[in-house]
Structures are given as structure tokens and as C-alpha cells.
């Protein structure tokens, strides 16, 4: 395992992570399976919408010249409805019943809404005049055949899928989902619901990180728990052979039973870095084991969660070609309490968010920032980001935050 500088800044570490991945190949999926997927190519409309001039209201299709002087009575000669238009020509002093979305009959150029008409048999009295083009939608109002409306790199929403359907696009070329193998380590861990000794704890990190990988657009591969022996670690590690990246949890520091670094070094891990100037999360491994990128997270639940929001998100985004999602999306807020001077590491403080005066956000860090307190991490709305050596801050000062309650927060 290569020797590297002991401590990197968060920005330097992020740059190394994002540059270490290539964009994954494309695959074709049905439109109905496109939610959350990332487009691998532009999507062009296969038709014009609407394909012809149609009505935007229920009423009567008329010639504008026939209704310049009102009231006027016209003779209804037909009816046009969506999917079944009126194929004959409407002549002078005639009209056609028409419904929203129906094609405008030949000879007409405007639509009179039904609320300003009186009907007696086929005699329709118009009480208000209208100009040419009133209450109609021209052909191509929404889009024209060949228009590129969804572009490469777009993460697809439900609205995007609706648009693609209206463009008559049944299949989509998207980036393959990154396969992320997740391996927890430690004799102290048991799975939720399993019997446990008093000196054991529940393995929560694998559950949280598997869910987060899905949120980010990846495919998690839960390898289970490796015990604190090289043999168990290597046996469990074998399941990551076909993964795009391996995330290990725990065993990244320097304890006697923290075997991850030791075993990976023996297996010729090409180490990129193993310490970051951040809190929580200083012990973090990044490198490559053969063809598989390795991200070794700390074992404490909050440390694993915070480092995932920054580095696992960046790795998945890089593989999906989402450069704009690879870097933390910071916002600003006002502090809800005083904070002391920060130390040498960049701090990510769990905090609540509230609306202050004039709609400004107020971020109040929790009083205790222990990296083992999962309940407080789940309660947090954001992380208050404090740079290394930041001066003491007062209530009301502006700070940077990473939101956890929206977007791609954990």
C-alpha cells in the first residue's frame, strides 16, 4: 500500500474521489422504469404536440368575421371532439360544436366559449364577439417533432417521464446504476432483530447506506458483516468482485482490531488517502483494489453518515456523469446560538433548521455532537459547516449549511 500524506483537506479529498471514477456505460430501459435514472443521451420529440390547431375551451368553432357584430345566430352543422373531429368545411354563418382538445374544423378560425351562447336546436346565438385565434392552440404550441426537450445528464423526475410519454418516447437510454458493495466490519455487530450479547451493538450503517445508495441512483450490494479476522474479511470481500465501488464500514483507524487497512494493504490496495481534516470522519480510506474503488468509512454511525453525504454522494455522481451533484450543495443560514472557535479540522455540526424573521433560515447546532448519537443525526435538518480555525461565531452570524431534509440528503 502506497504511503500518502497523513491529512487532506475536504476539498482536496473530494477532488481525488471525483477524478478517480469514469462515467458508466449506458443501457436502455422502458419509460416506466425511468424515474430517478440519468439520461445517457438527448431525447427528441417523435411528434408535434399538438399535431394540429385545437380548441382550448368547450364551445363553438366559428369564423371570426361572422361574430364581429353580436348578437348573431349561426347554424350548427357538426361537432368536433378530441379523437373524432368534424371533417366537413364550415361555411359562412355556420358553426360547429367543439370540445377542449378537439381539432378546429376547416373554415373556422376561432372558438366562442359556450358560456356566452344560447342554444335552440341547431340555432346558436352568440352574445359576445371574438377575434381570430381566440381560445385555440396552434399546432406545435407545446413542441415540434425533433425538438430536444430532455438532455443528457438529466436525472429524470415524474414530470420528465410525463413529458417523454407525450413526446411518444417509449424507451430511454440511461446510465447504468453504479453497483456499490457495502461491507460492515466488527465482532461487536449483529443485524437488526438478531440475538445480541450485552457487549454487542446493532449494525445500522449498512441499512442506512444501502438506502442512501438507492436514493443517489445506485444499486447496493450488502455483503453483510465481516468479523475481526483477516480470513473473515477476505471471505466477505469476495462478494465485491463485480462491484463498481466497495464501501467498508469500520476498521479504518489504528486500533488493534481495526483490520481493514491492514488486510487491504496486504492485498495491494493502491492507497490514495486515509485521513481527512474533518470532524466527524477523520479516518477515511480511499484507494483502488484492482478494478474496484474502495471507500473506507469510519464505524461510528454519524461519522459514516456525514462522510457518505460528502464522499459517497460524490463517487456515485461521478459515475453517473453528474458533475453538478458531485460537490456539496451548500446554502446559508443564520446561527441560532453562539459557537466557540473551531479547531484544525473542518467541522460538520448536526443542527435543526427553523424559519426566522423575513423567511431567513436559522440553524441551531445540537448541544452535544457525539458521533455515536444516531437519534440526533436522524433528527438533524442540516449540517453546519465550519472551516478549520473558524473564529468564534455569534447568534445571528451567517454560516454555510448542508441540508439533509431535501434533495440528496441522507
What tens digit of pLDDT does each residue of 152-184 get?
Answer: 999 999 999 999 999 999 999 999 999 999 999
> Is the Cβ–Cβ distance between 347 and 402 less than 8 Å?
no
Report d(CA 120, CA 113) in Å as an integer. 16
Q: Supply 4's cell numbers.
A: 500518502
- Reported as a single tens digit per residue, the pLDDT across 356-381 is 888 899 999 999 999 889 999 999 99
Q: Is the pTM of this model over 0.85?
A: yes
Q: Give the residue from 245, 239, 252 showing the smallest Cα distance to 293.
A: 245
Q: Which of 108-112, 119-123, 142-146, 226-230 has the lowest mean pLDDT?
A: 226-230
The grid coordinates of residue 189 equal 455487530
3-state helix, strand, coil in the chain (%, to 5): 20, 35, 45
pLDDT digits (tens, 9 = 90+) for 9-23: 999 999 999 999 999
Q: Is the peptide bond before 50 cis (omega within 30 degrees of 0)?
A: yes
Supply 255's cell numbers.
486500533
> Listing from the earlier edge strand, what are the strands of the sheet with 219-226?
219-226, 179-185, 245-249, 292-297, 283-289, 270-275
What DSSP designation does 222 have?
Answer: E
Whether 307 contacts 315, CB under 8 Å: no
pLDDT at residue 265, rounded to an integer: 81
Task: For the chain, give every domain's residue range.
Answer: 10-24+176-326, 27-49+142-175, 54-137, 330-403
In terms of Cα–Cα distance, which of 238, 297, 268, 241 is closest to 1? 268
Predicted confidence at residue 7, as pLDDT, reads 84
DSSP one-letter string for 57-82: SSEEEE-GGGGSSSSEEEEEEEEEBT
- For the beta carbon of residue 212, count every other beta carbon within 10 angstroms: 23
- The CATH architecture that domain 27-49+142-175 belongs to is Alpha-Beta Complex (3.90)
Q: Which pLDDT score, from 0 to 100, does residue 153 have?
A: 95
Share of the chain above pLDDT 90, in %: 77
For residues 130 and 67, the answer to whether their CB atoms sit within 8 Å is yes
Instruction: Assign a CATH topology to domain 54-137.
Output: Molybdopterin biosynthesis moeA protein; domain 3 (2.170.190)
Q: Which CATH superfamily is domain 330-403 in?
A: MoeA, C-terminal, domain IV (2.40.340.10)
**DSSP assignment of 87-119, as one string?**
-SPP-TTEEEEE-TTPBPPTT--EEEEGGGEEE
pLDDT digit string, tens, across residues 236-275: 998 898 999 999 998 756 554 467 878 888 888 899 998 8
| Superfamily holding 10-24+176-326 | MoaB/Mog-like domain (3.40.980.10)
Pick from 404, 12, 11: nearest CA to 212: 404
What separation in angstroms does the CA of 297 have from each of 182, 237, 361, 369? 10, 15, 31, 18
Q: What is the pLDDT of residues 71-120, one digit of tens each?
A: 999 999 999 999 999 999 999 999 999 999 999 999 999 999 999 999 99
Side-chain half-sphere CA neighbours of 263 within 13 A: 24
pLDDT at 410: 59
pLDDT at 257: 43
Write the CA distances from 395 to 279, 335, 337, 359, integer angstroms: 22, 5, 5, 17
Amino acid at each position: 500500500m502506497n504511503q500518502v500524506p497523513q491529512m487532506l483537506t475536504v476539498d482536496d479529498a473530494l477532488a481525488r474521489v471525483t477524478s478517480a471514477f469514469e462515467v458508466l456505460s449506458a443501457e436502455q430501459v422502458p419509460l416506466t422504469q425511468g424515474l430517478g435514472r440519468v439520461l445517457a443521451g438527448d431525447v427528441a420529440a417523435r411528434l408535434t404536440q399538438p399535431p394540429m390547431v385545437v380548441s382550448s375551451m368547450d364551445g363553438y368553432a366559428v369564423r371570426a368575421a361572422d361574430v364581429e357584430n353580436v348578437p348573431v345566430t349561426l347554424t350548427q352543422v357538426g361537432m368536433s371532439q378530441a379523437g373524432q373531429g368534424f371533417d366537413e368545411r364550415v361555411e359562412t354563418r355556420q358553426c360547429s360544436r367543439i370540445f377542449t382538445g378537439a381539432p378546429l374544423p376547416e373554415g373556422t378560425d376561432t372558438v366562442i366559449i359556450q358560456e356566452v351562447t344560447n342554444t335552440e336546436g341547431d340555432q346558436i346565438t352568440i352574445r359576445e364577439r371574438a377575434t381570430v385565434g381566440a381560445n385555440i392552440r396552434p399546432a406545435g404550441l407545446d413542441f415540434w417533432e425533433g425538438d430536444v426537450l430532455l438532455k443528457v445528464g438529466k436525472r429524470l423526475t415524474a414530470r420528465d417521464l410525463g413529458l417523454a410519454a407525450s413526446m411518444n418516447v417509449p424507451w430511454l437510454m440511461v446510465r447504468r446504476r453504479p453497483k456499490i458493495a457495502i461491507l460492515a466490519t466488527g465482532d461487536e455487530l449483529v443485524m437488526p432483530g438478531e440475538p445480541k450479547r450485552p457487549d454487542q451493538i446493532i449494525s445500522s450503517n449498512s441499512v442506512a447506506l444501502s438506502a442512501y445508495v438507492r436514493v443517489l441512483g445506485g444499486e447496493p450490494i450488502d455483503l453483510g458483516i465481516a468479523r475481526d479476522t483477516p480470513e473473515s474479511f477476505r471471505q466477505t470481500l469476495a462478494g465485491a468482485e463485480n462491484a463498481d465501488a466497495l464501501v467498508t464500514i469500520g476498521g479504518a483507524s489504528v486500533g488493534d482490531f481495526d483490520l481493514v487497512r491492514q488486510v487491504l494493504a496486504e492485498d495491494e490496495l493502491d492507497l490514495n488517502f486515509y485521513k481527512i481534516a474533518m470532524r466527524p470522519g477523520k479516518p477515511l480510506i480511499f484507494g483502488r483494489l484492482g478494478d474496484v474503488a474502495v471507500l473506507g468509512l469510519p464505524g461510528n454511525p454519524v461519522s459514516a453518515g456525514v462522510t457518505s453525504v460528502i464522499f459517497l454522494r460524490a463517487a456515485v455522481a461521478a459515475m453517473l456523469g453528474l458533475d453538478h451533484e458531485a460537490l456539496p450543495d451548500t446554502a446559508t443560514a443564520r446561527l441560532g446560538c453562539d459557537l466557540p472557535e473551531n479547531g484544525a479540522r473542518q467541522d460538520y455540526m448536526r443542527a435543526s433548521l427553523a424559519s426566522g424573521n423575513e423567511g431567513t433560515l436559522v440553524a441551531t447546532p445540537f448541544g452535544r455532537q457525539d458521533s455515536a448519537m444516531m437519534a440526533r443525526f436522524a433528527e438533524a435538518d442540516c449540517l453546519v459547516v465550519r472551516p478549520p480555525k473558524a473564529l468564534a461565531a455569534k447568534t445571528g452570524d451567517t454560516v454555510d449549511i448542508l441540508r439533509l431534509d431535501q434533495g440528496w440528503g441522507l
